[in-house]
Amino acid sequence: LVEYNSNTSRYLNFVNINAEFKWHWNESRTFNKIAKIILDMSLVSVRKIIFCILLILALFDGVICTDGQSITKCIWNSLGKDNQCILNAGQYNDVTKINNLHGPSSSRPIVIKGDSLKKTVISGVMEVKHNGWQTDDGRIYKTKLPEDHPDIWQLFINDVMMTNARWPNSKWSDKSIFHGKFWSKMDKGSSPGRVKTGGYGKVVDSDLSQFDGKDLDGAMAILNIGSFNTFVGKVEDYGREGNGSFKFKDTFGKYHFKVKRCRYFLEDHIAFLDQPEEWFYERSTNTLYVYPQEGVDLNNKDTTIFGKITTYSLTIEKSSNILIQNLEFFATTLYIVDSFNITVDSCSFKFPSYSKRMLGDTSLIQWTKVDGESHNVKFINNEFYGSDGCVLQGGKGAKDMVIENNRFEFNDWSGANMERMMGGMSTVKTDGEGSIMRMNTLNNNGANVGLRPGTNSIVTMNRITRQCFGVIQNDGAGIQLQRKPQYYAQITHNWVFDSPKYGIRFDGQLPKIGTNGNMSYNVVWRCNGMMVKGDYHNVTNNLAFHKRNAQDSDGQGTGCMLCVISKLRQFPGIMNNHTEVCNNAADVANGGVNVKDRKNPLPFSAVLRNNLFNDDFIANDNFIDIQNFDFRPVPLSEAATKRIGPYNDVNETNVYWIPGREEKTPSFPIPPHKSQIDIRNPRDSLIWKNAYGCHKHRVFFGESRETMIKLGDVEKPRNMIELPSQLKNNLVYYWKVEPFCNDNGDLTVARKRESVNGDRVSNDWTRTRTIESQIWTFKTN
């Protein structure tokens, strides 16, 4: 049942919970009930007898596990009335595998949770053991690791992630690693693998000549050579066919190769170790090389050096009715397979996944994944930061996944998420049926697509900004649906902006096209716009304006922000004959590019009704302040009287929906903090996004911090309040929103507290908690 890993003393246990029967526990603790469970088991084994003895010895309402104890022991001991394993604050290095563990019901799950006020860390790193560092120049340090030291494939120095030695140079700390300008371009003569070349592709790049005379064979090549497909290969035969060239084994299938749109970088070779914050591990000799950040001495006893040694610290298999809550996963993550009713709630994932390219491994990164025949797995209110590769994926058998109120930020700087040509990956992807992606915030992620749902999915109330902001891949969108997932998909009430990619797109080409998708009540701006291919779609009440980066499109948009494609390039046939386009507003809208006359776009083939397009779209006359996120129609304007756009019912509901994650405190003020607003705009309200789990909000407003007065209390879901009077010109205004989050419904303003009535605080989202509302300002002109 328990195996001890002797590789390092920092490992506590390598454990496997294997309860091969469903555990149905009720309120009674009588011996008769226990005996019945034992007698009802279809198979009797020593393992099960031991398991039941442990249960009998540990029947109480909840178990508190302290740092240094096994998570598995905590789970075993908690299988009683409340089934709660509470992990105290601290660091846990367990590798825990849960197999065939079943909570009583979805409403009474087995709970594995961390401290609600302090960090409970599930760690995938170990302190690097060494006998001192050598350096010749004071810049590059090296040390030989002990023979029994586990391989490491990610490195942290003083809590800063080091960048694999690479060329061209870029690094994690300043986020230059996300920028395509720090990839190299290929020259003429580069080619994909062909039969006549023995399946080898070739890269020609004159800039590589600086390494002539060095043996780069074995370095890892990250190759964006298939538009939205990026592969990993090993450098072979460097320089043997001329300076600045190498070969790679092309096992990637048939992909669309255009030299002028290809980019790549090399890493994981000692020759590239030439700037601070880089590292290299020579696996064959157990030698670690580090060029630390400026001013850091690796021989200083206060310098911390940790390496990643674990991929999945928690695996849940063939289990059900389990809640994972309030944990921080650092440099590790979890894997769920063949399970149902599993919820991951209010957890933090920092650097959860990382490639093993440093070890010479070209296989896919092992990211957070729900696999097998899994149902109703939920990720609620989590944060994902610093993942290398895809962040979260649901496999084809993962049905009815719910991904709600999460934040995904600064993930995936390589895009190397496929081993063969495919339709592409994304920051978050669900391949199974019936997924719901709701109220998520995606910001500054590197992949060319943000959200890619499966069939019969709902994608609503998400806010996606700066997707693929460094352009490390071609094509893409904030939200993208391929042909099959479009069928009855609901893509509604999303904001996508400030990206070089499309905001939202339906893809496909005749004769195989997607149908019956719903793309409604979305706002898309400062990006490539909305792309609709297929037929029988519903495109209604959207707002799209300000084309941002047409040069990175797929050449079909001709500057349009709402592109409902009539004819796709050279393919025969007309699209969207039966698509309904109604009640939308867009500064440029048409049927796409006319390949025979690129100066004049194609007209719509779709059914049009009641839209404000092109010359009829006058933003300032129709919408209150689109530059400052106020997309409500101006009273009595054409947009208001014709009920055009996504916010035509705000006056009736007093709810101004703001997509994205609800945070611990009120967020996303409108007008924005430190913004300047035109006093001529018909602004009559203050608007904000409510705090997570809080039922009421109190609003204060004034001409200085000291003179703010209470405007009133607002009951959720309302999130706006009327301004007291006409705003004055050239004046700075101050305002704040205080949330009320007490369980009992009392108007108790949240303050910092460690306990409630001397008892342990079990959930900091719903009880008194650490919140101090920010004071926001805006200036009139």
The residues spanned by each domain of the chain are: 29-59, 478-655, 662-746+765-780
Beta bridge partners of 545: 525
What's the whole-number mean pLDDT along residues 151-178?
98
Q: Between helices 46-57 and 71-78, what is the axis angle to 10°?
A: 70
Helix (H) or strand (E) holding 625: strand 623-625
Distances 71 to 21, 105, 233, 363, 700 between C-alpha atoms, Å:
21, 22, 39, 30, 46
Q: Which of 39-53, 307-321, 557-571, 651-665 has the lowest mean pLDDT?
A: 39-53
Contact, 444 vs 472, CB < 8 A? no
Q: Is 307 a residue whose pLDDT tops 80?
A: yes
What's the whole-number mean pLDDT along residues 176-201?
89
What's the whole-number mean pLDDT along residues 383-411?
98
Structure token digits, residue 635 = 């009273």
How many CB atoms sit inside 10 A of residue 241's CB?
13
Contact, 486 vs 506, CB < 8 A? yes
Strand order in the sheet with 675-677: 675-677, 776-780, 732-740, 696-702, 709-715
Contact, 670 vs 687, CB < 8 A? yes
Q: Is 207 a residue whose pLDDT tops 80?
A: yes
Which pLDDT does position 536 carry in this prediction?
Answer: 98
More confident residue, 753 or 224: 224
> Which tens digits make up the pLDDT trace of 54-79?
444 333 344 555 545 689 889 988 88
Task: Give ∠ CA 350-354-357 in degrees, rounded to 5.
Answer: 160
Which pLDDT does position 119 carry in this prediction?
Answer: 94
Q: Is 574 a residue whose pLDDT tops 90?
A: yes
How many CB atoms sit inside 10 A of residue 39's CB?
8
Superfamily of domain 662-746+765-780: Immunoglobulins (2.60.40.10)
Integer-rounded Cα radius of gyration of the chain: 28
What does 713-748 look like in DSSP terms, one character per residue?
A: EEETT--EEE-SSPPPSS-EEEEEEEEE--TT----
Which pLDDT does position 111 carry in this prediction?
Answer: 96
What's the whole-number mean pLDDT along residues 181-206?
89
Which pLDDT does position 772 carry in this prediction?
Answer: 73
Q: Which of 406-415, 421-430, 584-593 has the lowest mean pLDDT?
A: 421-430
More confident residue, 139 or 29: 139
